[in-house]
Copies of this chain bind each other. A is one copy, B any other.
Amino acid sequence: MLTIGNLAKMTGTKVQTIRYYEQIGLMPEPGRTEGGQRRYTDTELDRLSFIRHSRQLGFSLDAIRELLDLSDHPDRPCREADGIARRQLKQVERRMARLEALRAELQRMVHECSGGSTADCRVLEVLRDHSECLTDHEEIGA
């Protein structure tokens, strides 16, 4: 039987995060001691490991919910899990392409900066005037 603290250590998760996962129904309600403290079994350890690993690979909690559901039904076709992973892969690739454009732009800004006063700082100049940019980089965030 694991305390929440041990489970946290074993999975590299914060205690609060585990309780949060329980709250949103991603982790089941565990057993409790007479005093009301949570005690976990290996089943829950496996589930949390799955969740954490999926998060590390960038899956959203909603996607993880689906994956867990599929994992719980070994008879269902694999296609769905595969689809979720493929979507995630697409998203990662899209983000990478975007970051690459940003990287190029930032590098150009930084390289062209001569180190004088801000009056003629290339960095600020580029930020001021979008037309100096080589790429579009429309969307924000992501």
Residues of A within 8 A of B (CB): 12, 46, 49-50, 52-58, 67, 70-71, 73-82, 84-86, 88-89, 92-93, 95-96, 99-100, 102-103, 105-107, 109-110, 113-121, 123-124, 127-128, 130, 133, 137-141
A75–B89 alpha-carbon span in the complex (Å): 47
Contact B110 A85 (CB under 8 A): yes
Say how many copies of this protein the assembly contains.
2
Task: Specify which chain B residues have a CB less than 8 angstroms from the CB of A74 in the assembled complex.
Answer: 117-119
Task: Specify which chain B residues have a CB less than 8 angstroms from the CB of A140 in the assembled complex.
Answer: 52, 55-56
Q: Is the interface of A mostly helix, strand, loop or mixed?
A: helix
| A52 closest partner in B (C-beta) | B140
